[in-house]
Structure 1
């Protein structure tokens, strides 16, 4: 019987950056299988290669050795099947909210959807992130949290197989961050898409994730532990505060970060 290939397979990945005669091995022998529809968080101290790993999955930089397969096809270049949401929203300031998303829709669907269908799809994803009302505003006219919602809408608009989130809420205030976390949970529940998120926030990782990948300290960082978060969905943050499973998962991540891999910089 043939072995079923995981949706996303990262196998024996090494990443070394070389400048002149100096080489820096950032990632060493990283292997993980991620199934379709999973929400996976990557957490670890600064300098452990989290963003490098995300860039490898996005195809923004090549692996040194090993391989990454998405639906059994090698990942070696960027593509709309892997959409990245950065901490910096990267919106074009001269375009409206609508046009920032529509630009991505036109690029991906110009030969597959009619003009009317592309309009309807643009409005649909803006409504998913509760930004349809602001479609005619420009980035300079909306808040940081609203900009990040537009960035998420733009990523969703490409119907990616995987959403890659690089600390998407890191620059936001606590209340805005909480609202966006709730929105992401709602989107994930509705669309069943695969999400991989980098975060420094232990509570965020436990709240959102099905699994948490904990990276060892760099250089030559690798996967130290993988924690299954067995909390049922939908999740409500206020109900989780005293939930034993939530508390146990949170403690496990903190123990890994602060006891087993002591470091002067807080995660």
Structure 2
């Protein structure tokens, strides 16, 4: 039984008399605790797909099921971490996370429990020490850590990551990737991530969903990443399975790009 299922999802945008079919017949089943990445060239509808799962955009036809229930609006069971951290600049790190905690748990946790839960999630991403700082006082990588803490604090059934490391420098990105891997190992949460970084997709994922180019983008291929966990970045560099997976994704993306140029 699929935990999260995209069932014959199509998405068409209409502007005036022009209509554009962005996604065509998307079918994808994700198991509980699985880490799935979606990769493809710009404009292939990756973020649109994520937004449909998040309930921020509705599918034109088809739909999304989470634990056999239809998703058609945003909800705390699906938390999104965007490339832009989207923290509220007038609130402290603690207050940014506490805001979501109060919204989700106001009826089920006491004030003291909500405080402890907020700090627990900040400590999970090593940001407890910066709880009283405001977003403009911390680095880009730290802001993303707070964004991840805020998402985790809602105890979502699915964590949705929309190129969460795309705006960061290489070293910060590597540290955050390792943090997300460790959190996934510890919490066993279900993660759907958009990325355009091949190495990131292979390092983090159980499966990689490769999208054809738009318009009318669809799933071209799904690659199983048969690497045991926990994964260590430096050891994987020479791992035959890692190299093979990386090569297959690159080949797919290159073939698609060349096809577009030829067209």
- Is the Cα contact below 8 Å between 1:95 and 1:138 reproduced in 2? yes
Pick one of 206, 211, 216 that aligns with 2:212: 216
Deviation at 1:261, TM superposition (A): 4.1
Are residue 54 (structure 1) and residue 50 (structure 2) matched? yes
The Cα of 1:45 is off from its aligned counterpart by: 0.3
- Residue 4 of structure 2 corresponds to 8
Whether the 8 Å CA contact 1:7–1:33 is kept in 2: the answer is yes
Residue from 24, 27, 30 that aligns with 2:23: 27
Q: Matched residues in 2 for 1:75 and 1:261: separation?
A: 33
Q: In structure 2, what is the equivalent of residue 248 of structure 1?
A: 244
Counterparts of 1:102-121 in structure 2 under 5 Å?
A: 102-121=98-117
| Equivalent residues of 2:213, 2:256 under 8 A apart | no
The residue number in structure 1 matching 2:171 is 175
CA RMSD of aligned residues (A): 1.0
Query: Is the Cα contact below 8 Å between 2:212 and 2:256 reproduced in 1?
Result: no
* Corresponding residue for residue 183 of structure 2: 187
Candidates 233, 238, 241, aligned match of 2:234: 238
Residues 1:164 and 2:160 are matched in the alignment: yes
Deviations 1:120-143 (A, max 9, x none): 000000000000000000001000
User: Matches of residues 45-124 of structure 1 in structure 2 within 5 Å?
Assistant: 45-124=41-120
Give the whole-Å Cα distance in 1 for the aligned partners of 2:259 and 2:233: 29
Looking at structure 1, the residues matched to 52 and 16 of structure 2 have their Cα atoms a distance apart, in angstroms, of: 22
* Residue 75 (structure 1) shift: 0.6
1:33 and 1:262 map into 2 onto residues whose CA distance is 29
How far did 1:26 drift? 0.1
1:19 is displaced (CA, Å) by 1.1
Distance apart, 1:262 and its partner CA: 2.0
Match of 1:129 in 2: 125
Consecutive unaligned residues of structure 2, counting only runs of 5 or more, are none
Q: Deviations over 1:127-176 (max 9, x none)?
A: 00000000000001000000000000000000000000000000000000
Distance across 1 between alignment mates of 2:9 and 2:84: 27
What SS is found at the alignment partner of 2:258? Answer: coil
How many angstroms apart in 1 are the aligned matches of 2:44 and 2:184? 27
How much has 1:67 moved relative to structure 2?
A: 1.4
Structure 1: gaps (5+ residues): none
Aligned counterparts of 1:218 and 1:260: Cα–Cα separation in 2: 10
How many residues are treated as equivalent by the alignment? 261
Cα deviation, residue 254, structure 1 = 0.3
